[in-house]
Structure 1
């Protein structure tokens, strides 16, 4: 075996993508020390995307003090890659649900303002291309907070400027973009979006996701009506019909706000990541690709990182093996195209034990070592 590519997502709560890759590499080299290994840190557009992309592309992580969903100061990190011209931003770092205490979660009040501040900070550093992950939001403000941080103003019927949060949506009568940062005109936004939910309605942002963010039934109704009303304002102001845009309901309507006002392109999270790092070229000539994530099951086919790796590998006829902390639906995973799927646990263990960093790393290494031994035996 001459070349093995390692491209695994993080094992959430246990191992980063980089730690998984190092453990896989150790397993490969313990049997085949002369084998070339290419470590690629990946993610599916959610948690870990900034770190994975920034590490793979040789960029750097920077911090900015911004506002959290309740307008409290918080430090948030993002990545600078491609010579500092591209920013990699996870909106959850500034506007994510974990930043809000459970008893304070209320999408009528929470705002994406901090996400806009991250974009503004990156603009000040010269970034003009943005790769944005929008999973894990605490908000249902259709991106109005983000846009406010970038100089947009939202006005009621009397011309009075409105505040923050989902509660303003039904009262927006006009948009004032005269103060929008001029640098935005020359920017490209690519957004990782793995849901197809529309802006409003029974499968829209409020009805499907707002309850997870603290909304009761009355709030859901008000937020949904607000999104419908704001969609009309958006259509009048920009000419964009966000109601017809698949994924516009992602992150409480942030997907729609990004498309309508910043001209964003919505893409599968893993596809965005793989294209950004030039994955097709990195895997060229590989004999094997090892991928994985914390849990492999039937949902792995639904746009998750290992499936994106598999799809790219099949174009070049490279076999893909997956390892996971837990494995279900093995037959289905094989039918999808994975050459083999392996759980890393050697025996029964509590979830806490299974997720211990050192234990998980040793289990990844051991599993891959046995895999490579088997390959060598077959190829004798």
Structure 2
């Protein structure tokens, strides 16, 4: 009996990791000599909630909230684990690229306000009949269409941004250069000013609710790339969010201006590292609300793999939509390859595309499969991804049985 672990990540704007694992598992289950274990991955972005559902199964209840983002109206799901009293949000389900048509993708004029409003609504309604009691909010950060340093979200939670004339400024990147003052309401208990706890304390919360019962906020991030500097998250991910190079330069300049302001307020030091996940969303929540930032790898290996014996498998099947240098810099697929490369006979890496310059970093016992090899271009590979996965699964089966 050959033991095979199937642990793919999602293919962005295509299939979730749960669906990919399901397709591969179905194809391989034909062979009765295969003992299959499926553990779909998520690094906080697209498909985060599906993976949470998979992990906790019957412990999870789903609730939906109305969202308006960039003129689009839809319902966003949140999950509550009733046994652990944790609530899970996926940023990509609220402000994600997948929520917007191509013509509305413009990070210069978008921000994370709808996500902050959702968090605020959850905390306000925490003790209502519609929302079960919870003690922690876990936010999957990734797949966003925004690059606003999280200022929209913190604005929804009560922080105000003013210009030189004392007028309130909407915190979208095109306006960042106009901001000259950051205002904390008098009731606001900022962690670096008055407190050292990890509490969400929205200043516009209902006055009858005491700060001691606010939930802690944890951000699961998909990358460790810095928001600013050379090869920043703005540079690496901005173009795919719909910004031009000139717009990205404007966004970076605006964020640098905001950083100067928060340094003057002693919220961070001049040398402090600023995580770039979600266009700076996690970092904004950390700076203003003392949110905890944890890597997707820590989340995955303390939840998905907490009861897994890495030495019991013969083969590993993993993958993601695009495998590049960032995959080995904090993303789930690169990390699982590292952890399993010396523990299994072979690893099968299944991706839409694998960048040429990263292939030399892949261990020798990894066999690579690209959907692009089966189709004429990337668009066709996305349209026929399920068929392509079935074809590749057959090839993996044949290699295992050699």
Question: Normalising to structure 2: TM-score of the pair?
Answer: 0.74
Whole-angstrom CA distance in 1 between matches of 2:65 and 2:289: 22
Report the Cα offset of residue 72 of structure 1: 5.0
Structure 1 segment 1-380 matched on structure 2, within 5 A = 1=1, 3-12=3-12, 15-33=15-33, 36-58=35-57, 59-68=60-69, 70=70, 72-81=72-81, 83=83, 85-123=85-123, 124=126, 125=131, 126-170=133-177, 171-177=179-185, 178=187, 179-181=203-205, 182=211, 186-199=215-228, 213=241, 220=248, 222-237=250-265, 239-241=267-269, 244-247=272-275, 249-269=276-296, 271-288=297-314, 289-294=316-321, 300-314=327-341, 317-325=343-351, 336-337=362-363, 339-343=365-369, 348-351=374-377, 352=380, 355-356=383-384, 358-374=386-402
Whole-angstrom CA distance in 1 between matches of 2:73 and 2:47: 22
Report the Cα offset of residue 355 of structure 1: 4.7
- List alignment gaps of at least 5 residues for structure 2: 188-202, 206-210
Whole-angstrom CA distance in 1 between matches of 2:100 and 2:26: 39
Whole-angstrom CA distance in 1 between matches of 2:388 and 2:372: 10
Whole-angstrom CA distance in 2 between matches of 1:198 and 1:358: 34
Structure with bigger helix share is 1
Whole-angstrom CA distance in 2 between matches of 1:332 and 1:232: 36
CA RMSD of aligned residues (A): 3.8
Judged with a 3 Å threshold, the aligned counterparts in structure 2 of structure 1 residues 295 and 37 are, in CA distance, closer, same or farther, namely same
Task: State the SS of the aligned residue for 1:279.
Answer: coil
Report the Cα offset of residue 23 of structure 1: 3.4
Task: State the SS of the aligned residue for 2:336.
Answer: helix
- List alignment gaps of at least 5 residues for structure 1: 375-380
Count residues with an aligned counterpart. Answer: 368
Report the Cα offset of residue 175 of structure 1: 2.1
Whole-angstrom CA distance in 2 between matches of 1:343 and 1:42: 18
Give a deviation string over 1:105-130, Cα, whole Å, max 9, x none: 44443121111123234433444333
Give a deviation string over 1:324-368, Cα, whole Å, max 9, x none: 255757997586436231537798544526852552343244234
Comparing 59-68 with 328-337, which one deviates more in the overlay? 328-337
Task: State the SS of the aligned residue for 2:147.
Answer: coil
Give a deviation string over 1:162-211, Cα, whole Å, max 9, x none: 33422443324132243254478540313304142244x66556666656
Whole-angstrom CA distance in 2 between matches of 1:212 and 1:329: 16
Contact preservation (8 Å) 2:149, 2:281: yes
Report the Cα offset of residue 305 of structure 1: 3.0
Judged with a 3 Å threshold, the aligned counterparts in structure 2 of structure 1 residues 210 and 183 are, in CA distance, closer, same or farther, namely farther
Report the Cα offset of residue 258 of structure 1: 1.8
Whole-angstrom CA distance in 1 between matches of 2:236 and 2:391: 38
Corresponding residue number in structure 2 for 1:378? none
Whole-angstrom CA distance in 2 between matches of 1:56 and 1:338: 31
Task: State the SS of the aligned residue for 1:244.
Answer: coil
Report the Cα offset of residue 27 of structure 1: 4.3
Report the Cα offset of residue 373 of structure 1: 1.9
Judged with a 3 Å threshold, the aligned counterparts in structure 2 of structure 1 residues 223 and 39 are, in CA distance, closer, same or farther, namely closer
Whole-angstrom CA distance in 2 between matches of 1:220 and 1:333: 29
Whole-angstrom CA distance in 1 between matches of 2:242 and 2:313: 48
